[in-house]
């Protein structure tokens, strides 16, 4: 399993955003300072208040993701349509587009920033076609 910890300024807003994308909240691992979003059975995003996030990395500055980038989070999708469905849901829920869709024929992706500014890439790849490109 993978657990991605991210700072979030407003956990109520984050809950609304991620549930509108269709993700479940794991209440067992959520509390007033943390929200556990189940992206899949293997991927869980833990959104933490900046104070709680900072306690995980003592002595280090917690960046503001609305104006700095530390990581670009990638999610695979089962189809081009699935990329568009998730990205469109994100936009409707308050995300902002990071760049234009990237269509290379065998690969298609879209990028958005969540309400806190974390960058998410949703990508579909036709693996058989991709192998011929490499």
From the list 116, 61, 75, 72, the residue with the least C-alpha distance to 94 is 116
Nearest to 17 by CA among 41, 42, 47, 40: 47
3-class DSSP string for 47-103: EECHHHHHHHCCCCCCCCCCCCCCCEEEEECCCHHHHHHHHHHHHHCCCEECCCCEE
Quick: pLDDT tens for 100-131.
999 999 999 999 999 999 999 999 999 887 67
Q: Could you give the CA distance from residue 96 to residue 111 in angstroms, rounded to a whole number?
A: 9
pTM of the model: 0.87
How high is the pLDDT of residue 70? 81
Average pLDDT estimate for 70-90: 96
Cα separation values, 7 from 21, 84, 94, 109, 116, Å: 19, 26, 17, 25, 8
- Write out the CATH class of domain 65-134: alpha beta
Q: Which CA distances in Å does 22 have to 8, 49, 68?
A: 19, 22, 27
* Confidence check: pLDDT of 96 > 60: yes
Q: Are 17 and 115 in contact (CB under 8 A)?
A: yes
Domain edges within the chain: 1-57, 65-134
Q: State which CATH number among 3.10.180.10, 3.40.50.300, 3.40.50.1100, 3.30.1240.10 fits the domain covering 1-57.
A: 3.10.180.10
- Residue 106 is given by DSSP the state S
Same fold, 1-57 and 65-134: yes
Do 119 and 70 contact (CB within 8 A), yes or no?
Answer: no
pLDDT at 134 exceeding the cut of 60:
no
- Mind listing the pLDDT tens digit for each residue in 30-69? 999 999 999 999 999 999 999 999 998 888 988 888 898 8
């Amino acid at each position: 399993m993978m657990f991605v910890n991210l700072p979030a300024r407003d956990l109520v807003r984050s809950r609304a955003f991620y549930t509108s994308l269709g993700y479940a909240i794991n209440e067992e691992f959520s509390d007033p300072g943390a929200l556990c979003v189940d992206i899949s059975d293997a991927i869980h995003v833990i959104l933490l208040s900046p104070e709680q996030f900072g306690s995980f990395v003592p002595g280090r500055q917690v960046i503001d993701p609305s104006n700095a980038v530390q990581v670009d989070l990638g999610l695979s999708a089962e189809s081009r349509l699935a990329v568009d469905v998730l990205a469109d849901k994100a936009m409707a829920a308050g995300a902002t587009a990071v760049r234009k869709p990237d269509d290379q024929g065998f690969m298609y992706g879209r990028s958005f920033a969540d309400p806190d500014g974390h960058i998410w890439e949703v990508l579909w790849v036709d693996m058989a076609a991709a192998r011929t490109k490499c």
